[in-house]
Amino acid sequence: MRLGIISALHEEQQGLVEAMERPYKLIHGMREYWTGKLWEIDAVAVLSRIGKVAAAMTATTLVEKFGVTHILFTGVAGSGDPSVRVGDIVVAESLVQHDMDASPLFPRFEVPLTGLRHFASDRQMALELSHAAQRFLEREFMDAIDAQERAAFALQAPRMHRGLVGSGDQFVSHRERIRALGEALPGLLAVEMEGAAVAQVCFELGIPFGVIRTISDNANENAATDFMRFVKSVAAQYAFHVVRQFCRQARVQASRVSAGT
Ligand code: ADE
């Protein structure tokens, strides 16, 4: 396995780069690609920047230039459903480009000439991410997140959800908009700006991928309030712990495979 790890924001990537063994930086297409070992897994960590084009460009480069075999995307998202709260984790089982609309030529949300509205993430990666997220929330969350920040963001007993994630080139910050998206896309759990673009690239290139998001806001008028504070003091910690656990699990899997058990 050579794991490409894409973060949307600098704060999330920083911890991973610091944890890397023998890190080596390569600049390509205005991005810094950090190669090295992360918890014994061969990895390439990169900041995609924001939006679908930025994410698609990054994912393509990871595969074509860096030869990654799997891609993991970590970041934050707005809630797409009242049952999904700030501080919860969403593991994508499938992803949709919520701003794709080539109707009446093609059905709304369908990516023209693929025949698909929803792009499924890799089942095994989603499963491993769910285990990693669950373990983090149950065993590490209390120590990993400062008490003051837990109180400030009213993080009490955060939960993990699995399901549909919507991506679009839009920071959703109006309650009517998120409500309309939820109505048009049954089962929508979260909205963000990159995941479905990575999903399409990975689908087209035949690369297994997973997307995990920490809910930072309710995609309403308050969405931008304290956004950067949340990313720094909460989401960066979530991403670090979940990726570490994911790599440890991948390491165990790999040694089982080589031992033939
Ligand atoms: N990422 C985090 N919050 C978001 C929102 N409200 N809309 C789009 N992307 C987001």
Whose CA is closest to atom 4 on ligand 1?
78
Cα(193) to centroid of ligand 1, in Å?
7
- When comparing pLDDT for 11 and 35, which is higher? 35
Q: How many CB atoms lie within 10 A of CB 25?
A: 10
Q: Output the DSSP codes for 13-70.
A: HHHHHHH-EEEEEEEETTEEEEEEEETTEEEEEEE--SSHHHHHHHHHHHHHTT--SE
pLDDT band at residue 99, thresholds of 50, 70 and 90?
very high
Report the chain's mean pLDDT, rounded to a whole number.
96
**What integer pLDDT is reported at residue 113 of this predicted model?**
95
> In whole angstroms, what is the distance from residue 65 CA to residue 75 CA?
23
**What integer pLDDT is reported at residue 12 of this predicted model?**
87
pLDDT band at residue 260, thresholds of 50, 70 and 90?
confident
**What integer pLDDT is reported at residue 239 of this predicted model?**
96
222-to-11, 61, 63, 78, 167 alpha-carbon distances in Å: 21, 35, 37, 11, 19
**Which of 52, 81, 217, 238 is the best mutation target for the ligand 1 pocket, counting ligand atoms within 8 Å of the beta carbon and taking the most?**
217
pLDDT above 90 (res 138): yes
CA 245 to chain centre: 15
pLDDT digits (tens, 9 = 90+) for 51-70: 999 999 999 999 999 999 99
Cα(172) to centroid of ligand 1, in Å?
6
**What integer pLDDT is reported at residue 230 of this predicted model?**
96
pLDDT band at residue 172, thresholds of 50, 70 and 90?
very high
Q: Output the DSSP codes for 58-98.
A: HHHHHHHTT--SEEEEEEEEEESSTTS-TT-EEEEEEEEET
> In whole angstroms, what is the distance from residue 96 CA to residue 80 CA?
13
- For the CA atoms of 132, 136, 138, 140, what is the dihedral angle to 10 degrees? 150
- When comparing pLDDT for 255 and 59, which is higher? 59
> In whole angstroms, what is the distance from residue 97 CA to residue 110 CA?
8
pLDDT above 80 (res 156): yes
Topology, domain 73-247: Rossmann fold (3.40.50)
- Name the residue type at position 15: G
Whose CA is closest to atom 1 on ligand 1?
77
pLDDT band at residue 223, thresholds of 50, 70 and 90?
confident
Is the CB of residue 89 less than 8 Å from the CB of residue 133?
A: yes
Domain spans in the chain, listed from the N-terminal domain onward: 73-247
